[in-house]
Amino acid sequence: MSLLPEPELQAVEAWFSDLKDALGVSRNADRGRVLASVKKLVADNDTYDQEKRVVAAACGYKRWGDCYAWANSKLEATPEVELPEVFSKPPNGVVFRPGGDYDKAQKRLVKTRLRLKEVWAEVEAELAADPTCADWAAEQKEFFVREFEATTDFDEFDQTCLAFVRNYEGEEDPTKAWVEVADEAAAVFERNYDLPPGLTAELVTYAEEVGVEATKKGLGEARQLNYPAGYWLNYLLTAYLNETKRPEREEVWEVSDLFLRATELWGCYKVVSANDPDHPSFTKRDYDPTVTLAQVAAAVKKLAYLKDKDLTGTTEDWTEEVKAAVAALNGEKGVTATA
């Protein structure tokens, strides 16, 4: 039973209810829970004051107000440009990733929009200085729209924006840096005695004329292979057959299998000893030196056709088909190196 008059008791209860709301605790919280929340609030406030003093000192200010004014001026200095509507809401990759949260992403978006405003201001400044770079400006804006829509990490995207504004290229990504490979392949073929010299020469010439490329990562991996000549044969042959400057890994594997099988059916090599003293039973292919790129292409294309049609012919049938395709090039019987 309370000793307080009814009006004062109601006032205390109302004040206690308002206190719960202000603290953000449950309306069913007891006095102990409310008191603990008040103590935590006081402790957090003390910590906050200490942190403000540290930040102000680190920035060279004695008073927090001066430090805050300086920081606020930096934000106000952010270029006021109009961003596309796509930047008004966080991308799906940020919201729906593990641990993602729309409300948190929306708040975090404020910082990213500041970086984007810097990008847009930079692009607009370049365009104003040189009106002829309109296509470049449009490409840059399209690039950042695509990157934003695809990003799953605001921090990484902000770094991309910052690198653009500061014109920082950084280290080259070896998986995205493409280089021409004709010289690399030619050097490898010069040290090789197992492949038809005419075939490899024609492939190098084609690579030079077309500008066949590989990534720097792929180039490094090829240099680590035990038989790089075979790799470059398949790579350049794939480029030739598929009429592409940048063959995909899966395409090279497919052409490699077709080349091995087609030349086997064609019979343009002999199986001889590998002359490996440590492995006397090892063998290798000794190709007829007169084999040409046109002949190999004909054999591979014919085999690819036969496999694609899933014909039920025997090995003998396929052998005749492949040999006929090669012979049709010049009306002759074609190369037959097997005994």
Q: Alpha carbon of 160 to those of 95, 122, 155, 169, 194: distances in Å?
A: 19, 14, 9, 10, 48
CA 66/CA 56 separation, integer angstroms: 8
Residue with tokens 């080259």: 172
CB atoms inside a 10 Å sphere around CB 144: 22
For the chain of 339 residues, list the mean pLDDT of each consecutive stretch of 10.
Answer: 62 70 70 75 75 76 74 60 92 90 92 93 90 91 95 92 83 82 95 92 96 93 92 97 94 96 94 81 90 96 87 83 91 44
Neighbouring CB atoms inside 10 A of 193's CB total 9
Q: Can you spell out the DSSP letters for 188-227? A: HHHT--SS-HHHHHHHHHHHHHHT-EEEHHHHHHHHTSS-
The model's pTM is 0.52
Residue 310 amino acid letter: D
Residue 250, pLDDT score: 94
Confidence at residue 229, expressed as pLDDT on a 0 to 100 scale: 95
Contacts of 101 (CB under 8 A, 6+ apart): 95
Neighbours of 189 (CB within 10 A): 21
- Phi, psi at 49, each rounded to 5°: -60, -40
DSSP state of 83: P
- Beta pairing class for 269-273 and 283-287: antiparallel
pLDDT value of position 288: 93
Dihedral angle sign, alpha carbons of residues 156, 158, 161, 163:
negative
Return the residue matching tokens 């024609």.
Answer: 202
**Rg (the chain; Cα; Å):** 36
